[in-house]
Amino acid sequence: MKRLVAVAGILALAAGVALASPASKSASKSSSDKWLHVRVEDGAGEDAERVRVNVPLSLAEAVIPAINVDNFRNGKIRVDVNGEDNHLQDVDFRKILIALRDTKDGNFVTVEGSRDNVQVAKQGGYLVAKVREGKEGGTRVDAKIPFQVVEALLSGDNNELNIAAAVRALGEHGDGVLVTVDDHKSKVRIWVDSKNESE
């Protein structure tokens, strides 16, 4: 009988230890292991402010369809073409996109002003936009968005931006820098990779 009690005690202890152990870390990996990173550096020296945001695209994919606020519903933003933005009413973005996708690489728009330069181009499956403000030390904006993402963004109705589809497309695309903004005061960098911490 004493042996039986001892065995029961050991079993109880073992069960207790098993219950007390931390939750299993072998959680299933999400469909997309990509992370969207945003890094903002504002100012310099001791007064500088640094913001780092690391968001797994799987989290964005899960959360975005659940957002139902104002014009943002079911992962899509409805653009009010009959309201203040009515100048967009007659623009068929999808047709423009298809036309852009089917054309060869090259510059679509080049504006060379006395102060600012703007360039929009298609390069190797990316929609590339470059803005240079001022001569030297001015703001520099570089955006390089995969065409699949732009296509997914415009995959809803004509007056909708399909954010959920765009995020999904971003997850299926390779790593890369999406947007950089650089001026004499601040720097912004938005990129996608498989690391869960920013560099």
Partner 1 sequence: MLSILRSERGFSVPGGMLAAAGVGALFAGSYLYSQGLIRVSVHEKRPGGEHIRLAVPAAIAPLALAFVPAKEIGKHMPAEARQHLPVVEAALNELQRLPDCTLVQVDGPGEHVRIRVLDHQMVVDVNDHQDEVHLTMPLGSLRSVMAKLGRAAEYSSGENACDRSGAWGHAGHHGSGHPDGEVL
Point out which residues bind partner 1 (CB under 8 A).
1, 9, 12-13, 15-17, 19-23, 25, 27-30, 46-56, 58-59, 62-63, 65-69, 73-74, 196-197
Among 178, 170, 128, residue whose Cα is nearest residue 151: 170
* Residues 106, 110: Cα–Cα separation, whole Å: 11
Cβ 29 to partner 1 shortest distance, Å: 8
Question: 85-109 burial, b if ≥16 CB within 10 A, otherwise e?
Answer: eeeeeeeeeeeebeeeeeeeeeeee
Give the tokens for residue 169.
Answer: 């497309």
Q: Which residues pair with 37 in a beta bridge?
A: 54, 191
Cβ 77 to partner 1 shortest distance, Å: 15
Q: Which is nearer to partner 1, 12 or 98 (CB)?
A: 12
Cβ 117 to partner 1 shortest distance, Å: 33
Q: Which is nearer to partner 1, 119 or 198 (CB)?
A: 198
Q: Which is nearer to partner 1, 48 or 99 (CB)?
A: 48
* Residues 158, 127: Cα–Cα separation, whole Å: 20
Cβ 59 to partner 1 shortest distance, Å: 4
* Residues 107, 85: Cα–Cα separation, whole Å: 27
Q: Which residues pair with 54 in a beta bridge?
A: 37
Cβ 138 to partner 1 shortest distance, Å: 25
Q: Which is nearer to partner 1, 50 or 184 (CB)?
A: 50
Q: Which is nearer to partner 1, 32 or 144 (CB)?
A: 32
